[in-house]
Amino acid sequence: MQHICNGDQQAFNLLYNRYKDRLYYYFFRMLGNSETLANDFLQDVFLKIIEQPGRFNPAYPFKTWVFSVAYNLCKNEYRRREIRKDCPATEKQVNPELPVKISNEELINRIFLSLDELNPEHRSVFIMHYREGFAVKEIAGMLELAPGTIKSRLFYTRKFLADKFQHLKGEIEF
Amino acid sequence: MNFKRQKMSEKQLADLIRQDTIGKPAPHVEDQLNYVFMLKSVRSKARQNSFSGFLGWIFSMNGMGLKASVASVLFLFVMIKPELNRHSGSDVTADSTRVQQSVVIDSTLFQLDSKTINDSIF
């Protein structure tokens, strides 16, 4: 980050290439699987890094900081949608005619479609923990919540998925 | 990965989610960011070569002690050195009828005789 503050283009490219895919995935799954929004928000995060590098506290890991910025951008987007009410709530329900057997790819898609029914905090906690491998304590720091709250959100999300995929109980159980 | 007839553990669920691929971000995002970064670094380099940083510091609240002490030294210097005091002790009067004293460029004080002036004109 110090190099970026000094205008080192190579350092910026290195940072971008290290985090672009992970942040893109996070935004894509957080913002209704939209490629356009994921690209826009990815750009916004890095613009914040360019414009205000001083906001980064070197006492904390960069990864934690950048994901907390990403989470706050998503939260603001949800708030904007709430105010405008122009974006219909995600009504993408899982197909009621569910197969008894399911491929991993299909299962992942169905998991994220189901997670769209939960609030962004649950979804964010789920992605940060299972995809990014953040510990409960780290997520608590990023989302400014108690670790107990994060644990309960993870538990609730798994329970929610277990209920959603009850038909697959013979094959997979959450 | 085989999840057959077992409760999905934390690790299995994490592995499943990590298998997920959604594609790559659009290349134009990187291009735009590189352009913005280049503009920002050019702007900041131009700022580093200007006085704006110093002027900003002068008018900021930082280093007030240092600024106050420099200002007091300058003030004392002006008070002690009488030649720096612009007050010459002569009043410039321009009431269009009588000029008592006038300060010319070489700072020599001329006493003009008002009678002579009046006589020559009228």
pLDDT tens column, A40-56: 999 999 999 888 877 88
Tell me how far apart the alpha carbons of residues A41 and A28 are, in angstroms, rounded to a whole number: 9
A39-55: buried (b, 16+ CB within 10 Å) or exposed (e) per residue?
A: bbbbbbbbebbbeebee
pLDDT attached to residue A96? 47
A118-144: buried (b, 16+ CB within 10 Å) or exposed (e) per residue?
A: bebbbbbbbbbbbbbebebebbbbbbe
pLDDT in tens, B44-60: 766 666 677 777 788 88
Q: Does A135 touch chain B (CB under 8 A)?
A: no
Nearest to A7 among B17, B18, B44 (CB): B44
- Beta-carbon separation of B40 and A24 below 8 A: no
Residues in chain A with CB shorter than 8 Å from the CB of B8 are 172-174
* Token pair belonging to A86: 């122009």
Average pLDDT, chain A: 83
Nearest to B41 among A7, A46, A170 (CB): A7
> B73 or A168: whose pLDDT is higher?
B73
pLDDT attached to residue A59? 79
Q: For residue A4, give the amino acid letter.
A: I
Please give, rounded to a whole number of angstroms, the shortest distance from the CA of B106 to a CA of chain A. Answer: 54
Packing angle, helices A62-84 and A9-30, rounded to 10: 50
> A63 or A58: whose pLDDT is higher?
A63
Indicate the range of A98-102, B30-34, B90-94 predicted with least confidence: B90-94
- Beta-carbon separation of B14 and A130 below 8 A: yes
Band (pLDDT 50/70/90 cuts) for residue B25 is very high
Please give, rounded to a whole number of angstroms, the shortest distance from the CA of B24 to a CA of chain A. Answer: 6
* Token pair belonging to B1: 């990965």
Q: What is the DSSP code (8-state) at residue A130?
A: I
pLDDT in tens, A116-158: 888 888 999 999 999 999 999 999 988 889 999 999 999 999 8
pLDDT attached to residue B113? 58
Q: Does B36 touch chain A (CB under 8 A)?
A: yes
pLDDT attached to residue B2? 46
Residues A10-27 have a mean pLDDT of 92
Residues B94-109 have a mean pLDDT of 54
Band (pLDDT 50/70/90 cuts) for residue B23 is confident
- Beta-carbon separation of A24 and B25 below 8 A: yes
Band (pLDDT 50/70/90 cuts) for residue A5 is confident
pTM (2 decimals)? Answer: 0.66
- Beta-carbon separation of A174 and B13 below 8 A: yes
Q: Does B22 touch chain A (CB under 8 A)?
A: yes
Task: Say how many CA atoms lie within 13 Å of B58 toward its Cβ.
Answer: 7
Tell me how far apart the alpha carbons of residues A62 and A57 are, in angstroms, rounded to a whole number: 8
Indicate the range of A87-96, A110-119, A129-138, A164-173 predicted with least confidence: A87-96
Tell me how far apart the alpha carbons of residues A23 and A135 are, in angstroms, rounded to a whole number: 17
Packing angle, helices A35-51 and B27-48, rounded to 10: 10
Check pLDDT > 60 for residue A111.
Answer: yes
Q: Does B8 touch chain A (CB under 8 A)?
A: yes
